[in-house]
Structure 1
């Protein structure tokens, strides 16, 4: 099994994992510089923050149309098209003469990030054998995290060499060109999987499980002619048909996205409130991020071997406990030590949650046409991630930082209850049936 798992995952590297790393490197390189570019065009701090938020707004707005695009044209063309359109957005970052055009360029990049992400998610949902789906999707999440981690460092290196913010945007452009070329010209994993899917009896069951319909090498959602009962229903009909699971497990997943996003705001602000130096805060957050990154594949192993609940529930409990305990440590004599320890605990929880949202979405999506469902699923989770920093800031403004931090912990614990209640009902404690 290990050999087949490694072999199939390696086949996905040229079309999925490699392009994901490249896209994330470029995005990670430009995201910290967007407020700087806005300030260069005359925007104050509030306007610069608004321009930067256009990326998240674009991702939210892009998920639903991306579901239609994948269902209509297939994953490969959608990924390539998203990469090409994002290239125009990057050129807009470089050449924009006004704040309005800069915001529009950032919005376009957000749209393309949503389309690219949904297409690769749908591709993996329909191609990866169920027995190691969670590991494959955890590796996908880890690829994105790796790119976002090293992107800012590459941008900093280019800035030191060139002295201009445009160099980071040109890095993104180069990554996008390489990404599109890999998607269009790289080895097609479907070709080899097609041969395995039609292998005679006695060959790997996992390989034959890869596709429930005849695989022609074209995109499942766009190229295989399915029976009428299995044709795409469209995004909104799919959303209505699956409203029960989306309103229950979907909102629970959104709570996980919310607390994961909140930690990126909570930890730096908590360090500032303790009077720590910037380099100390960066060190603590960096160590927590390293722990997070180190555990991404372990999360997939836990989900594949023991079930989805055994990763999602501990992750939410650790994140929730970390935030709640942190809320009571501000006035303690060793507040800085508690900050570092609890940041590490939150990092462990976040690492264990790697790939959970991707895997749960893949488990719940209709096998023959996952893209419309995944567009709704990703819209919910992205909305949770976008709302959390706003909610945290609002609570902190009307009360205290400790109360706001505790509120994030409460959301995590409510999410843990949601996973405990709904994962066994909609998926099963040991994951979806593999028969």
Structure 2
């Protein structure tokens, strides 16, 4: 509607979607690093403890596609509320867990709730934010998520220092989830703030989900592969950098400092990424980001045995953070652009599944290549994959989202004819 844009403000988005997201991600960021430690305290081996720590991501991947049907049926705001409450139940299971198996069940449910909450906030901004502000809103959402994961571990460290036990950190997540729920309940309905969403039907079940997947199978296979590689590059960067520091003999404190500064560079660029996408087009953020991530990992592969390998590590770490920051919000923005306006949630669930699957598979691939060969080869393979992903994005973003279009087509799964 023409009156949607005047009603919009970044402040209203912050209250309705970003503040609950910040609270939820702070709580999640507080517990995720400590899940392996809690599992080990319950008698799990180091290998099993690591596996349990990965169950949040596994639960998120499993929950991505069905979360689309859930959000389409009950609405974004209600879905976020129930996801936050489900997280509380899951964390209480973790607190009461007598063994590692029960802890794993609770952690897996946290992942399922994360999928629903993440999809709901993504669909919320897709439905209510005018397209001229969309990339900035979604890149800010990505920045808020990163901020929560930055603050959460520091908060958990303070709680452990005060209480002397790791399990007390689970209460941080409970408090954050309840606070997010309170914010969502106390705020007015989004329709009264932004105006009605763009033509959503009243219900959408499994039939609507599968119909959406069939109608959009082309873009999900093509650009979905590209976005899966974006997720893979981001996860690879987070895994390889600390492993690389260990392999070249950098101490733990120095490693934490370098990665922390790199994380600050990454975080500082989230709004710049949104401005680039809104003013110049999505490709101007996506392509430099993937080229940077791919080339950075490829360069890193050849620096391991150089005399100045520590200096190279620092330089590449900062370069990778710059590349990642420039692409902040790109996966969510592309998904929002491509989703059918009448019912975006089912498509967004499948879209997020592609990105999260890449994020889940990449660390396993890095571990496997490192085990049978070297970490340098793993970095090189990841770099080549990143450059391949850049090629996919360069080919298919202009095809499915032509720069001259004022807004995405109602059914963007059919590319423009080209011969």
Q: TM-score, normalised by structure 2?
A: 0.93
Paired residue for 1:203? Answer: none
Write out per-residue CA displacement over residues 153-190 of structure 1, whole angstroms, 9 at most, x where no aligned residue: 00001111111112211011000001111112223342
Label 1:47 to 1:221 Cα distance change in 2 as closer, same or farther (>3 A): farther
Question: Aligned pair in 2 of structure 1 residues 77, 6: CA closer, same or farther (>3 Å)?
Answer: closer
Greater than 6 Å deviation, 4+ residue runs? none
Name the residue aligned to 1:362. Answer: 336
For the Cα contact (< 8 Å) 2:226–2:392, is it kept in 1?
yes
Counterpart-to-counterpart distance in 2, 1:105 and 1:192: 36
Q: Is the 8 A contact 1:56 1:386 kept in 2?
A: yes
Q: Give me the whole-angstrom Cα distance separating, in 1, the residues matched to 2:373 and 2:120.
A: 42
Shift of 1:301: 0.3
Deviation at 1:58, TM superposition (A): 0.6
1:288 counterpart residue number:
262
Check conservation: 2:239, 2:363, Cα contact below 8 A.
yes
Residue by residue, what CA displacement relative to the aligned partner does 1:339-388 show, whole Å, maximum 9, x if unpaired?
00011000001101110000000000000100110111111110000000
Aligned equivalents of 1:48 and 1:433: distance in 2? 47
Alignment partners' CA distance in 1, 2:309 and 2:275: 35
Q: Against the structure 1 CA distance between its residues 86 and 349, is the aligned structure 2 distance closer, same or farther, given a 3 Å change threshold?
A: same
Match of 1:13 in 2: 14
| Residue 261 (structure 1) aligned with residue 239 (structure 2) | no
SS of the equivalent of 1:111 reads helix
Alpha carbons 1:292, 1:347 under 8 Å: kept: yes
Aligned equivalent of 2:379, options 402, 405, 425: 405
Kept in 2, the 8 Å contact 1:17–1:140? The answer is: yes
Q: Does 1:129 align with 2:103?
A: no
Q: Is the 8 A contact 1:363 1:432 kept in 2?
A: no
Partner Cα separation in structure 2 for residue 252 and residue 86 of structure 1: 31
Does residue 176 in structure 1 map to residue 177 in structure 2? yes
Residue number in structure 2 paired with 1:202: none
Name the structure 2 match of 1:227: none
* Correspondences of 1:112-123 after superposition (within 5 Å): 112-123=113-124
Is the counterpart of residue 271 in structure 1 residue 273 in structure 2?
no
Q: Deviations over 1:263-311 (max 9, x none)?
A: 1110001111101101111111111111100001100000000000000
Offset, 1:257: 0.5
Partner Cα separation in structure 2 for residue 372 and residue 275 of structure 1? 47
Out of 305, 329, 336, which is 2:303 matched to?
A: 329
Q: Which runs of 5 or more structure 1 residues have no equivalent in the other structure?
A: 198-210, 214-219, 224-229
Which structure 2 residues correspond to residues 21-420 of structure 1 after superposition, within 5 A? 21-194=22-195, 211-213=197-199, 220=200, 222=202, 233-420=207-394
Is the alpha carbon distance of 1:13 and 1:127 closer, same or farther for their aligned partners in structure 2, counting shifts above 3 Å?
Answer: same
Q: Which residue of 1 aligns with 2:417?
A: none
* Contact kept? 1:231, 1:369, Cα under 8 Å: no
Contact map agreement 1:311 1:352 (CA 8 A) in 2 = yes
Distance 1:313 1:239 in 2: 26
Check the 8 A contact 2:69/2:346 in 1, yes or no: yes
Q: Where do 5+ consecutive residues of structure 2 fail to align? A: 410-419
Instruction: Determine the C-alpha separation between the residues in 2 that align with 1:158 and 1:15.
Output: 28
8 Å CA contact 1:70–1:221 kept in 2: the answer is no
Quote the Cα distance in structure 2 between the aligned partners of 1:325 and 1:370.
39
Distance in structure 1 (CA, Å) of the matches to 2:185 and 2:349: 23
SS at 2:69's partner residue?
A: helix
Aligned equivalents of 1:12, 1:292: Cα separation in 2: 22
Distance 2:357 2:406 in 1: 26
Query: Aligned partners of 1:290 and 1:55: how far apart in 2?
Result: 24
Q: Distance in 2 between matches of 1:429 and 1:404?
A: 36
Cα 1:257–1:179 change in 2 (3 A) is: same
TM-score by length of 1: 0.90
Distance 1:12 1:190 in 2: 12
| Kept after mapping to 2: 8 A contact 1:75/1:221 | no
